[in-house]
Amino acid sequence: MLVRIFNSTFASLNREVNSMHTARYIIAVGIVGGFLGLAPLGIGGLHAQPSDEAAPSNFRDALRARTEVLQHSSAAQLDAAEDPIHTAATLTAYYANHDFVPVWVTERGPRMRVHSLRNALRRADREGLSPADYHVEALQSTLAELRTEEDADRRQALLVDLEIQATEAFLLYGMHLLTGRVDPEELAPSWNIQPRRADLVAVLDAIATKQQRVHSALDTLRPDDPGYSTLVEALRTYRGYAEEGGWTPIDAGPSLKQEDQGERVAQLRSRLAITDAPVPDTTNPDTTDAYFDDHLHEAVVVFQERHGLTPDGVVGPATLRALNVSAEARAEQVRVNLERWRWLPTDLGARHVRVNIAAFELEVVEDDEPVLNMRVVVGRPYRQTPVFSDAISYLVLSPYWHVPNSIATRDKLPEFQRDPSLVTRQGFQVFDSWSAQAQPLDPLAINWGELSERTFPYRLRQNPSPANALGRVKFMFPNPHNVYLHDTPTRSTFAQAERGFSSGCIRLEHPLELAEYLLSDVPGWDRARIDRNAQRTEEATVVLPERVPVHLLYSTAWADADGVVHFRNDVYDRDKAVGHALDNEGASSWSSVSRSEPRVRNQNRL
């Protein structure tokens, strides 16, 4: 994504922001009458000057000269390792506003805080980020040279370099912890979820004035949620498994179940002992490791529940595939989902609806506690449900289904061509156009066979009925994707482990329970009235007194409230795009400012 740094007036800043296709990763710097601010998606206030003793003027002059060179260079680099500088304009503006007083060094040498920063950057891989992105080698090289360099002029030049290296690294790492290294909008144009916000200049000032240590300052930028911390630990754990050789795949063969015996049962027991828990031996003296006993059955069920599989205790093809996913692949899955977590805001809403597309699940959360859970059906892989946020504003009981033209031509037209009587038997009406004055037509008078996807001129509407594709209720949050939540008459699909069968909308397992929850504060709308209106043949629209946020997300690895890590198949094949973007050298939410180049050019969806 294009990132720009501004150091002019509010007017020019506003013009630039308005001209951008997105403002997710703006790090705005505005200087008006001594004002400077730097914050994602906004501008902070006037920041404190460092309280330490001021550096001599000759050192500050050297820092001034160095930052001005960086600002005006078309290929600014760090001297020590020729790493590109991504924040040249921001650095210059920051130091100019602080009278070029250094944060990380004095004229005598490095401060302890620069060593703390270097150590924190070395540990960036624990967050699923790469230390190489944050000039660790340049910092280390400069520090090493300073330990032996005795020439005063050379030492000063090295200290200036170290100061710039450290500030650049802090800003990059801080921003990546705060909003992610990868811009989700470059991977999914539908993404409209606002990131977390923080004033990085204020955080940097807190370090400079000794109000915060480096470690605690960086902690304020990480997602403050136990689920994120658990995934960080899971990344360490699965990387540890990989370093130790992972696990031996279970041989192919027929399904394994209770009372089976043989080498494959022994492989299963050994595999589960690594990632779940050692399976105790039965007290039966005839039992060996090669016997599929009750304990092993229970362990398989737990594994299946963690991986979104049918929890029947039988190791069939789907369970075998999940067991044989390598430790390296699971570690990468965790790394990708740590990045997805960094894209999210701190607050999704005191009361909100959250759909995990990859898990085929919906959860209603109120005051950080789940109050309603259900299975859902999402879009097929070739008609994917998009990732975005909106707010439910109303619901419709006994709804009409206004069939989108794409579904009418691709799905319904072939059905009607095979059997024209389906039009009336399924309760459809045919209109001569999409205008407000459209007139109904006799479906039996239409020659369906001569129509095609390109020549189909009609609008289809399905009347409220038990066979209506939207079921008894739909939940509306008008959006450009024409995606919403609704009931369905096809109930059998909820019994399947993977439920990608829709054309993009989300079908609900318990829609009336969701309606009851959303209408609990609406006078007169108790469950009995909801049920009555859901059985009628006329629509009933109920506007919510307060819009309820709804978030359609995609997570293939997460930790539940009990700290248990869950995995799901990457049904839309989106993990690879995120992983590739994380590995893309030079890709950053601080894209090369001097060249104004986009950071990621991958158009795969998330």
Residues designated as active site: 486, 505
Q: CB count, 10 Å around CB of 578?
A: 29
Q: CB count, 10 Å around CB of 407?
A: 16
Using CA atoms, how far apart are residues 364 and 372, in angstroms rounded to an integer? Answer: 5
Strands (E) in 348-462, as ranges, are 351-356, 361-366, 369-379, 388-397, 401-402, 428-431, 440-441, 459-462
Using CA atoms, how far apart are residues 121 and 179, in angstroms rounded to an integer? Answer: 17
Using CA atoms, how far apart are residues 97 and 105, in angstroms rounded to an integer? Answer: 18
Q: Between 511-518 and 527-534, two packed helices, what is the crossing angle to 10 degrees?
A: 130
- The DSSP symbol for 127 reads G
Question: 152 Cβ partners below 8 Å, 6+ apart?
Answer: none
Sign of the torsion angle spanned by Cα atoms 521, 523, 529, 533: negative
State the virtual CA torsion across 254, 260, 264, 268 in degrees, nearest 10. Answer: 110
Q: Token pair for residue 408?
A: 């009418």
Residue 378: strand, helix, or coil = strand
Comparing CA positions, the residue from 563, 399, 579, 578 lying closest to residue 484 is 399
Are 422 and 462 in contact, with CB atoms under 8 Å apart? no
Q: C-alpha distances in angstroms, 456 versus 383, 424, 444, 570?
A: 21, 18, 16, 36
Using CA atoms, how far apart are residues 24 and 14, in angstroms rounded to an integer? Answer: 15
Are 180 and 342 in contact, with CB atoms under 8 Å apart? yes
In terms of DSSP bridges, do strands 506-508 and 485-486 run parallel, antiparallel, or are they unpaired? parallel
Q: C-alpha distances in angstroms, 376 versus 363, 488, 498?
A: 10, 10, 10
Are 606 and 184 in contact, with CB atoms under 8 Å apart? yes
Q: What share of the chain is helix, strand, coil (3-state, %, to 5)?
A: 40, 15, 45
Residue 449: strand, helix, or coil = helix
Are 119 and 226 in contact, with CB atoms under 8 Å apart? no
